[in-house]
Amino acid sequence: MDQEKHVNQSDDVHDIENEGLLDGKEIERCRSEVSEKNLSYTKPLLVKRTNTTSQIAIVGANICPIESLDYEIIENELFKQDWRSRKKIQIFQYVLLKWAFALLIGLGTGLVGFFNNIAVENIAGFKLLLTSNLMSEDKYFKAFAAYAGCNVGLAAAAAALCAFIAPAAAGSGIPEIFGSVLGVSAGFVVGKEGPMVHTGACIANLLGQGGSRKYHLTWKWLRYFKNDRDRRDMITCGAAAGVAAAFRAPVGGVLFVLEEAASWWRSALLWRTFFTTAVVAIVLRAFIQYCTTGKCGLFGEGGLIMYDVSSANATYSAPDILAVIFLGIIGGILGSMYNYFVDKVLRTYSIINERGAVLKILLVITISLLTSCCSFGLPWIAKCMPCPTELSVSCPTVGKSGNYKSFQCPSGYYNDLASLFLNTNDDAIRNLFSTSTLKEFHISSLFIFFGAVYCLGIITYGIAIPSGLFIPVILAGACYGRLVGRLFESISSLDAGLFALLGAASFLGGTMRMTVSLCIILLELTNDLLLLPLVMLVLLISKTVADNFNKGVYDQILKIKGLPYLEAHAEPYMRHLVARDVVSGPLVIFSGVEKVGNILHALRTTGHNGFPVIDEPPFSEAPELCGVVLRSHLLVLLKGKNFSMDRVVTGDDILQRFAAFDFAKAGSGKGIKLEDLDIKVEEMEMYIDLHPITNASPYTVVETMSLAKAAILFRQLGLRHMCVVPKSQGRPPIVGILTRHDFMPEHILGLYPHINPDK
- By CB under 8 A, the residues from 520 to 549 that bind its own copies are 520, 523-524, 527, 529-530, 532-533, 536-537, 540, 543
Nearest distance from C-beta of residue 250 to its own copies, angstroms: 6
Interacting residue with its own copies among 442, 709, 749, 750 (CB under 8 A): 709
Of the pair 187, 335, the CB lying nearest its own copies is at 335
Residue 521 burial (C-beta neighbours within 10 Å; 0-12, 13-18, 19+): buried
| Residue 103 sits in the site that holds its own copies (CB under 8 A) | no
Nearest distance from C-beta of residue 307 to its own copies, angstroms: 12
| Residue 65 sits in the site that holds its own copies (CB under 8 A) | yes
Of the pair 268, 491, the CB lying nearest its own copies is at 268
Cα–Cα nearest to 13, from 30, 37, 42: 37
| Residue 755 sits in the site that holds its own copies (CB under 8 A) | no
- By CB under 8 A, the residues from 300 to 359 that bind its own copies are 304-305, 310, 315
**Residue 453: which H helix or E strand, with range?**
helix 443-460
**Residue 590: which H helix or E strand, with range?**
strand 590-591
Cα–Cα nearest to 239, from 13, 491, 59: 59
Interacting residue with its own copies among 156, 162, 258, 744 (CB under 8 A): 258
| Residue 700 sits in the site that holds its own copies (CB under 8 A) | yes
Site string for its own copies, 441-480 (x = CB under 8 A): ----------------------------------------
Interacting residue with its own copies among 337, 683, 716, 751 (CB under 8 A): 716
| Residue 740 sits in the site that holds its own copies (CB under 8 A) | no
Nearest distance from C-beta of residue 168 to its own copies, angstroms: 38
Give the separation between CA 60 and CA 406, rounded to whole angstroms: 49
Q: Do β-strands 624-630 and 610-615 pair in parallel, antiparallel, or remain unpaired?
A: antiparallel
SS (H, E, C) 513-582: CCCHHHHHHHHHHHCCHHHHHHHHHHHHHHHHHHHCCCCCHHHHHHHHHCCCCCCCCCCHHHHHCEHHHH
Question: First vs last Cα of the chain: how many Å apart?
Answer: 26
| Long-range contact set of residues 262-270: C-beta below 8 Å, sequence gap at least 24 | 262/59, 262/60, 262/61, 262/63, 262/236, 263/60, 263/61, 263/62, 263/63, 263/568, 263/715, 263/718, 264/60, 264/63, 264/64, 264/716, 264/718, 266/65, 269/233, 269/236, 269/237
| Residue 129 sits in the site that holds its own copies (CB under 8 A) | no
| Residue 628 sits in the site that holds its own copies (CB under 8 A) | no
Nearest distance from C-beta of residue 396 to its own copies, angstroms: 31
Cα–Cα nearest to 33, from 163, 193, 170: 163
Interacting residue with its own copies among 95, 268, 373, 659 (CB under 8 A): 268
Of the pair 258, 429, the CB lying nearest its own copies is at 258
Of the pair 139, 569, the CB lying nearest its own copies is at 569
- By CB under 8 A, the residues from 492 to 521 that bind its own copies are 515-516, 519-520
C-alpha distances (whole Å) from 585 to each of 6, 122, 691, 732 are 6, 57, 25, 16
Nearest distance from C-beta of residue 400 to its own copies, angstroms: 24
Determine contact, residues 222/253, Cβ cutoff 8 Å: no
The letter for the amino acid at 135 is: M
What dihedral do alpha carbons 608, 613, 617, 621 form, nearest 10°? -140
Give the separation between CA 597 and CA 672, rounded to whole angstroms: 18
| Residue 605 sits in the site that holds its own copies (CB under 8 A) | no
Of the pair 421, 714, the CB lying nearest its own copies is at 714
Interacting residue with its own copies among 160, 254, 483, 508 (CB under 8 A): 254
Residues 6+ apart with CB under 8 A from 431: 403, 419, 420, 423, 440, 441
Cα–Cα nearest to 331, from 454, 460, 455, 243: 454
- By CB under 8 A, the residues from 73 to 92 that bind its own copies are 73, 76, 80
Nearest distance from C-beta of residue 302 to its own copies, angstroms: 12
- By CB under 8 A, the residues from 223 to 252 that bind its own copies are 250-251
| Residue 105 sits in the site that holds its own copies (CB under 8 A) | no
Residues 6+ apart with CB under 8 A from 295: none
Of the pair 7, 280, the CB lying nearest its own copies is at 280
User: Residues binding its own copies: what is the number (CB under 8 A)?
Assistant: 77
| Residue 93 sits in the site that holds its own copies (CB under 8 A) | no
Nearest distance from C-beta of residue 710 to its own copies, angstroms: 8
| Residue 614 sits in the site that holds its own copies (CB under 8 A) | no
| Residue 554 sits in the site that holds its own copies (CB under 8 A) | no
Interacting residue with its own copies among 699, 720, 742, 744 (CB under 8 A): 699
Nearest distance from C-beta of residue 706 to its own copies, angstroms: 7
| Residue 107 sits in the site that holds its own copies (CB under 8 A) | no
Phi-psi region of 550 (alpha: psi -120 to 50; beta: other; left: phi over 0): beta
Interacting residue with its own copies among 432, 701, 722, 734 (CB under 8 A): 701
